[in-house]
Structure 1
Amino acid sequence: MSWAAARRGQYIFGIFLVFSIPIGIAAFFLWYTPPTCFDGKINQGEVAIDRGGPCELLADSQTADATVLFARPFEVVPGVWSALAHVDNPNFEAAAYKVPYAFKLVDEDGILVAERQGTMTITPNGVTPVFEGGIRSGERRVAQAFFELLEDPVWLARKSAANHVTVRERELLTDGTVRLTATIENLTLNDITKLVVVVSLFDLEDNALAASKTVIERLAARGKEQVIFTWPRPFPREVGRFEIQPIVIPEKR
């Protein structure tokens, strides 16, 4: 090959590169689809298809089942009952939202007296209390309560936000009607809306004795609000301890 022919070859090859590289780059971006958590593939460090790794949805192998620690009915006045359950989530950084549940209240013969359904948020790494009030039983007396999750929780990668709120100035008065007061304080720079606060009271043998719930519609940033719980009748046993638990919506990791 002559020197001139070699130069022409180099020239043609250079022109080819000038046009082919931009075309190749354009084609790459035109046809390339970046991995997502909804593409039905394990392609970005997931543990299972679209679960784990950078995805919010967690794989079954990453979580353990939530367990119901107990469910108890409480007679408020004749014919009206409330019910409390404690659900334990052993997963350190996993939460589930809008999990459907059912309380079933039965008489001493195991016959269903009343049922109440709802949905709950299961917060990470600990116990989430569930309370339902105003359950009417008619003339039948409730002997036992059962609580069940109606669907398996869909676990999302979340961390607890319980430290965003604190409970102060707790006071329990048991002379005549029972009254419990506390101050709920928002430690963050953001407002918290529709904050559910559940109180669980236990006797000296640590059996659930009573419960109640309130909702703070808006707790201002760095703000405080007093909550008041009352019961119309004295408790049948002495209060040994009580827990006041604000249910703060978990954060993304």
Structure 2
Amino acid sequence: MISWSSKRKFFIGGLILLGVGILVIIPAFFLLYEKPTCFDGKKNQNETGVDCGGSCVAICQSDFLKPIVDWSRAFKVSEGAYSALAYLVNPNPSAGVERFEYKFTLYDEKNVVIAERYGFSSLPPGKPVPIFEGNILTGEREPVRSVFEIVSVLVWHKIDSGTPNLKITSHEFSGGDNPRLKALVENKSSVPLVNFEVTALLYDSNDNALAVSRTVVDFLAPNALKTIYFTWRLPMPAEVVRIEIKPKLYPGIQY
């Protein structure tokens, strides 16, 4: 039978062990415990995949619709030089890709590769995006087909805010041997926009693209207007009946 003094020793020893546990084990737990994040390589929190979905900004690969390449074409600029444009549509209204790599491949009438061009672009949410590459040299060969490919993994992110409020308020086209398009762009945002692209697409009566061109606006102050120009070295092959002018701005990027 255990004596009362022995019981007291066990009781005191238990209290000491409990105190050690409180003073050592619990602080050690909080010291070593790693709070779940969207960058820990584990599926936790309310994520629907590893570090994606739920409250994470990154969207899981299975939770978005793939971008659609509506069309891709090469446009003659001068002898032996072409521009290429792909009309890319992002069907996701609240998801975008900040940066991805792409490739244009131009083929001749024998389906032989004439030229390849790699580049990088962003993909704003819920909007068509013209991807433009200029001055592609082809020598004496003429491209009859252009293929556009996305060659990097698309990392999708939730986009809660809209793109900067940029408007094309007017435009004026003049044809002839050296066609020119003049447009007025207005920054309706409260922040300045720096080094952003604006692409012009000209269409015929069948809504086929006749020509494309791109310019870069170096700076546009808040609530300011600026005149921009697009030029071509060759006459238009048909009458221009529709003009599309599209700025490319991505939410969250400081322009």
Q: TM-score, normalised by structure 1?
A: 0.86
**Which residue is 1:213 aligned to?**
214
Q: Whose strand fraction is larger, Structure 1's or Structure 2's?
A: 1
* Equivalence map 1:1-253=2 (5 Å): 26-159=27-160, 161-162=162-163, 164-251=165-252
Moved over 3 A (4+): 13-29, 159-163
**Equivalent pair of 1:159/1:251 in contact (CA under 8 Å):** no
Residue type of the partner of 2:137?
A: R
- Offset at 1:205? 0.4
- Offset at 1:21? 6.5
Tell me, in whole angstroms, the C-alpha distance in 2 between the residues paired with 1:44 and 1:183: 48
* 1:155-186 C-alpha deviation (Å, 9 max, x unpaired): 11124634521111211112442111112211
Matched position secondary structure for 2:234: coil
**Which residue is 2:5 aligned to?**
none
Tell me, in whole angstroms, the C-alpha distance in 1 between the residues paired with 2:75 and 2:44: 52
Tell me, in whole angstroms, the C-alpha distance in 2 between the residues paired with 1:18 and 1:56: 42
Residue type of the partner of 1:147?
A: F
**Equivalent pair of 1:64/1:90 in contact (CA under 8 Å):** yes
**Equivalent pair of 1:57/1:154 in contact (CA under 8 Å):** yes
RMSD over equivalenced CA pairs, Å: 2.6
* 1:37-72 C-alpha deviation (Å, 9 max, x unpaired): 112223221111110122121112211111211111
Tell me, in whole angstroms, the C-alpha distance in 2 between the residues paired with 1:172 and 1:146: 29
- Offset at 1:223? 2.2
**Equivalent pair of 1:92/1:159 in contact (CA under 8 Å):** no
**Equivalent pair of 2:164/2:189 in contact (CA under 8 Å):** no
Tell me, in whole angstroms, the C-alpha distance in 1 between the residues paired with 2:161 and 2:66: 17
- Offset at 1:26? 4.0
Matched position secondary structure for 2:159: strand
Instruction: Give aligned-pair identity as a percent.
Output: 38
Tell me, in whole angstroms, the C-alpha distance in 1 between the residues paired with 2:161 and 2:148: 24
C-alpha change, 1:15 and 1:242, in structure 2 (3 Å) is same
Residue type of the partner of 1:68?
A: V
Q: TM-score, normalised by structure 2?
A: 0.85
Q: Which runs of 5+ in 2 are unaligned?
A: 1-13
C-alpha change, 1:57 and 1:67, in structure 2 (3 Å) is same
Residue type of the partner of 1:49?
A: V
Tell me, in whole angstroms, the C-alpha distance in 2 between the residues paired with 1:53 and 1:32: 22
Matched position secondary structure for 1:35: coil
Residue type of the partner of 2:92?
A: N
Tell me, in whole angstroms, the C-alpha distance in 2 between the residues paired with 1:32 and 1:152: 32
- Offset at 1:240? 2.0
Q: Which runs of 5+ in 1 are unaligned?
A: 1-12
**Equivalent pair of 2:172/2:183 in contact (CA under 8 Å):** yes
C-alpha change, 1:103 and 1:20, in structure 2 (3 Å) is closer
**Equivalent pair of 1:66/1:90 in contact (CA under 8 Å):** yes
**Equivalent pair of 1:102/1:148 in contact (CA under 8 Å):** yes
Tell me, in whole angstroms, the C-alpha distance in 2 between the residues paired with 1:18 and 1:64: 56
Residue type of the partner of 2:200?
A: V
* 1:66-95 C-alpha deviation (Å, 9 max, x unpaired): 121111111111111111111111111111
- Offset at 1:149? 1.0
Residue type of the partner of 1:123?
A: P
